[in-house]
Structure 1
Amino acid sequence: MNNPLQRVGTIYLPVENLEKSTDWYIEKLAAELTYKDLDKAILNLADQSFFLVRANKGQSSNFMDVLGNTCFSLTFEVDGVNSLHALREDLLKKGVKTGEVENRGHPGRNFVFYDLDGNAFDVWSELSSTFEKKR
C-alpha cells in the first residue's frame, strides 16, 4: 500500500517575541517572510513553510529523552561535509548559538544550533535519497 502522506508541509515553532524572532530567521537563516499578523509569521525556509507562533516565555519545540538530554525535533540537510562546516562558520559569524560538529556513528556529520527562544535544530551533512533524485 502506498502511503498517502507525501511530505511535511508546515512546521510550527513557539516564539516569545514574534517581531524579533521573525527578523532573526530572516537575517540569520535567509528565510522569506510570506505573511505576518499579531500572533504568527509564516516563513519559507529550506523548501518548507515555518509558522512562528507567539507563545508564552519558556516554550520551545525541544523535548527531553529518557536519559534527560534535550533533543531537537527537526534536522536540516546540507550537501556534504564542506557545506556543513561552511554553514556552521556562517552561523557563528552571525552570532548564532551553535554546537560543535559531531560524529554520531552514522554517515555524515552533524551540528546543532538554536534560535532566540532556544528551539534546537540539527544540521546533517547528507542529503536524503529522495531529495537527491529530485535535484
Structure 2
Amino acid sequence: MNKLVRVGTTYIPVSNVERSASWYGEKLGAELSYIDEEKAIINLANQSFFLVKAQVNESANFVDAEGNERFSMTFEVGGLEALTQLHRTFKENEIIVGEIENRGHTGRNFVFSDPDGNKFDVWSELSPTFKEKFNI
C-alpha cells in the first residue's frame, strides 16, 4: 500500500541564514549539516530542517479564524517535568517563550519563537507511536 510514512524535512523562512543556523545550534542543540548563502540544513528532534533565506517579515506562522497568530509545528518532550525543565532552560537562554498552558487536553504546552518570529509549540506528551518505536 502506498502511504505517507514520515515527515522528512520542514522548511523555515529566515532573514539571515548564518545567524539562524547559529541560533538553532546554540539555543536548541540542532546539528548543522550544510550551509550556503541561501539555506542551512539542520537536524533537530529526529528531523531535517531547511532554514531558507526569505523576504523580509516572512514566517511559518499563520492567523487563525479568531485573528490570533499561530505556530505551525509542535515538538514533543517526555512528560511534564521535561517540559518544565525545558521551559526554564529556554528562559535562561533568553529564548522568547510563553507561559506553560493547560489547553484542556492531556499534558501541557508552551510556545517559543526564533529570532525571526517563527513560533513553535512544545507539548509535554510523546506520541504513543514514537514511544513504542523507540521503546520509551
Normalising by structure 1, report the TM-score: 0.97
Q: C-alpha displacement at 1:3, in angstroms?
A: 5.7
Aligned to 2:59: 60
Structure 1 unmatched ranges of 5 or more: none
Structure 2 unmatched ranges of 5 or more: none
Identity among equivalent pairs (%): 58
Counterpart CA distance in 1 for 2:53 and 2:40 is 9
RMSD: 0.8
Aligned to 2:47: 48
Q: C-alpha displacement at 1:4, in angstroms?
A: 1.1
Aligned to 1:91: 90
Normalising by structure 2, report the TM-score: 0.97
The secondary structure found in structure 1 opposite 2:3 is coil
Aligned to 2:122: 123
Letter of the structure 2 residue corresponding to residue 8 of structure 1: V
Q: Which runs of 4+ in 1 moved over 6 A?
A: none
Letter of the structure 1 residue corresponding to residue 72 of structure 2: S
1:1-135 matches, cutoff 5 A: 4-135=3-134
The secondary structure found in structure 2 opposite 1:82 is helix
**Residues 56-110 of structure 1: CA deviation (Å, up to 9, x unaligned):** 1100000000100111000000000000010011011000000000000000000
